[in-house]
Structure 1
Amino acid sequence: MIDRIRTVGLLILCILLLSQSIQAQTTPIMPAAPDPAGINQGRFIGVVLGTAAFYTITLLMLRKQWYKKKVPFHSFNDNAEWLQMDKVGHAATAYCMSRGGYELMRWSGVDERASILTGGLLALLFQTTLEVYDGHSEGWGFSKGDMFANVAGTALFVGQQFGPGQQVVSLKYGFRKTIFPPYRPNVLGKTTGVQMLKDYNAQQYWLSVNLASVLPVGPSFPRWLNLDLGYSGSGMIGGHENPPVFDQHGKEVKFERYRQFFISPDADLSRINAFSPSLQRFIGTAQFFKIPAPSLEFNRVNGLRFHPLILPKE
């Protein structure tokens, strides 16, 4: 439920940005100077009201449907679960929310510094609220590991925007179907949409590096070319360990849990100046989803493997 709410938040940010991508201008890679006209009141009021409404409605929904039974605030340690895939997911979500909030503020005419701080604070406010709710929820608890990941993801965006003034490194998400959900559908999801949120075997998280920003390249080098380093896990049907499961013939099925590491080319489409400024802002946030591309994988079970386009079902 919590992961679903986070994902809805990301989609709303993308939709708000896309709905305004109607101008036909070009934008430089570096952040634009503050608009001399100042804040666009119509846009700014719309963003503020939309953000406040989303935050309020989300809290009311959670209280009514998810946190019905409130218990005293407590914490728990889930740092060893799911080969830390959930922690990487928290960092990636916080990064994308920070970037989305920033882009909405800049589109509204807010100056660079205030937009950076607002984007980061909005992401932390949303994520922290959910963690506090978990702390009062029976069966869950406040996770210091989750909170650390939330801060790390936010800091990655804020630090780069204050420092080099651009996102040299970004975090992205990938997905592929796996064979594991049928063995524990209530945990890993019964449908593809739910599996995108709950099946950690199906998820990949990518650290995307813009090559032109870190290498001494010439003017003819494609500014949009990125190199991505990916991480995932496989063989997981339980958090800490796999419970016994059986096939249709009653025979026990055992899965080996292991980590996967990837390297793959990527494209940062927000660096293509042919798009309008508003569309570039939308693309920068929407590219939370990794573009399918050839990749090289290494894991301790299968060794080195090459995937021509998308990762195979496992």
Structure 2
Amino acid sequence: MSHFIYKILPAVILIFFSVSVFSQSSTGFKTELKLKDKKVSFDSTGKTENKINSGSQFQKPKYKVNYFKVAAITGVTAGAFWWLHNYQKNAWWSGQRGKFHIQNDWDYAMSADKTGHFFDGALLQAIYRGALEWAGFSPTASTWLGAAFSIAYMTDIEIEDGFATDWGFSMGDQICNVAGALYPVAQYYVKPLRSFNFKWSYYPSEEITSGNKNGAFLDDYNGQTMWLSVNVHDFLGKKAKNFWPDYLNIVTGYGVNDYKQFDKRYADYYVGLDLNWERIIPGNSKFMLWFKNIINHFRFLPLPALRFNKDGVQYIVNW
């Protein structure tokens, strides 16, 4: 259920506010590590805990947890999750408490629902990974703890769905939740994966604009597209890099149409251009690196693409 993104957004706003406020007032320990010829960012760089080289005169950076910042993160998390859980309880689970049951819904919304779960897991991991690094945790600890928080939260929601008569615990949803949360962990350890990042975009479908659809726009699967953005520059030779901007990506996309009507539904596939905001927006502070990484999870500007569907191939400008 892609409405999980809707559940995550308030936490994004609250954590964003916490980071911006407390980063100005805190005098906690700060660690800086300069890496030769590398920029430090969350999804597209090497591990900052590696030694600069193998010489014994170089030591690994030391990390000191700022417990004031940890308390701020904990408070924001507790408040956001308490509000979200009660909102979801009233909106989706109220009056339908029953026996725990499992459902198989891999094909729901032509699997657009599943890509949404994967994205939600990855986004929530990124939010907490950045917040924990800001609090002084090492990149490795932040990466794993971010994944753990993401999985714990998404699992809690899925269990609640399991007791709802109209829903059910979906193994497909849970697999995608876990896979999404662990994908950034894999990127942390496997360098080539850092060049492949998932993005989400939305343009209101006719159901929303006409007022025929009730509910959040994030359940409007007909208006959503999931993207896989590839940092082409990372794979080019030295000479070719001079002709291809490092911020210009190639992207593939997947969207659905009329998914509720089995005799009319069809999929859209895309190939086009994309922008890597981590390489466009200036700033290399921990906060700015985190902020750029979160922004880079979304595709929100109209860009050229080819669309492939049952009607053939069309050149379009979309997001």
TM range (shorter): 0.7 to 0.9
Q: Distance in 2 between matches of 1:298 and 1:234?
A: 13
Aligned to 2:274: 266
Q: Deviation above 6 Å: which 4+ runs of structure 1?
A: 20-23
The answer to whether the Cα contact below 8 Å between 2:158 and 2:174 also exists between their aligned partners in 1 is yes
Q: Give the letter aligned to residue 185 of structure 1.
A: K
Q: Give the letter aligned to residue 111 of structure 1.
A: S
Q: Give the letter aligned to residue 28 of structure 1.
A: V
Of 45-54 and 216-225, more deviation after overlay is shown by 216-225
**Does residue 288 of the first structure (1) align with residue 314 of the second (2)?**
no
Number of residue pairs matched by the alignment: 286
In the TM superposition, residue 18 of structure 1 has moved relative to its aligned partner by 5.6
The answer to whether the Cα contact below 8 Å between 1:294 and 1:310 also exists between their aligned partners in 2 is yes
Deviation sequence 1:243-296 (CA, Å, 0-9, x none): xxxxxxxxxxxx821110111222222234831322121110122210421111
The answer to whether the Cα contact below 8 Å between 1:17 and 1:104 also exists between their aligned partners in 2 is yes
Deviation sequence 1:194-233 (CA, Å, 0-9, x none): 22x0111100010111123334345645332222111001
Quickly say closer, same or farther: Cα 1:139–1:258, change in 2 above 3 A.
Answer: same
The answer to whether the Cα contact below 8 Å between 2:10 and 2:80 also exists between their aligned partners in 1 is no
Aligned to 2:57: none
Of 51-60 and 76-85, more deviation after overlay is shown by 51-60
In the TM superposition, residue 64 of structure 1 has moved relative to its aligned partner by 4.7
**What SS class does the counterpart of residue 177 from structure 1 fall into?**
coil
The answer to whether the Cα contact below 8 Å between 1:18 and 1:282 also exists between their aligned partners in 2 is no
1:49-88 correspondence to structure 2 within 5 Å: 49-69=75-95, 70-88=97-115
**What SS class does the counterpart of residue 149 from structure 1 fall into?**
helix
TM-score by length of 2: 0.79
Aligned to 1:245: none
Of 171-180 and 265-274, more deviation after overlay is shown by 265-274
Q: Distance in 2 between matches of 1:32 and 1:152?
A: 24
In the TM superposition, residue 14 of structure 1 has moved relative to its aligned partner by 4.7
Q: Distance in 1 between matches of 2:281 and 2:66?
A: 23
Q: Give the letter aligned to residue 134 of structure 2.
A: W
Deviation sequence 1:118-150 (CA, Å, 0-9, x none): 110111111111100000012110001111111
Aligned residues: percent identity?
Answer: 23
Q: Distance in 2 between matches of 1:258 and 1:296?
A: 16
Aligned to 1:304: 313
1:226-265 correspondence to structure 2 within 5 Å: 226-236=249-259, 238=260, 241=261, 256-265=264-273
Quickly say closer, same or farther: Cα 1:279–1:233, change in 2 above 3 A.
Answer: same
TM-score by length of 1: 0.80
**What SS class does the counterpart of residue 201 from structure 1 fall into?**
helix
**Does residue 144 of the first structure (1) align with residue 167 of the second (2)?**
no
Of 91-100 and 211-220, more deviation after overlay is shown by 211-220
Quickly say closer, same or farther: Cα 1:200–1:148, change in 2 above 3 A.
Answer: same
Match of 2:127 among 97, 100, 111: 100
The answer to whether the Cα contact below 8 Å between 2:143 and 2:185 also exists between their aligned partners in 1 is yes
Which sections of structure 2, spanning at least 5 residues, go unmatched?
Answer: 25-29, 50-59
Q: Give the letter aligned to residue 209 of structure 1.
A: V
**What SS class does the counterpart of residue 255 from structure 2 fall into?**
strand
Aligned to 1:116: 143
**What SS class does the counterpart of residue 268 from structure 2 fall into?**
strand
Quickly say closer, same or farther: Cα 1:282–1:19, change in 2 above 3 A.
Answer: farther
**What SS class does the counterpart of residue 227 from structure 2 fall into?**
strand
Aligned to 2:233: 212
Match of 2:181 among 148, 154, 160: 154
In the TM superposition, residue 19 of structure 1 has moved relative to its aligned partner by 5.5
Q: Distance in 2 between matches of 1:98 and 1:267?
A: 22
Of 132-141 and 150-159, more deviation after overlay is shown by 150-159
Aligned to 2:67: 41
Quickly say closer, same or farther: Cα 1:258–1:28, change in 2 above 3 A.
Answer: same
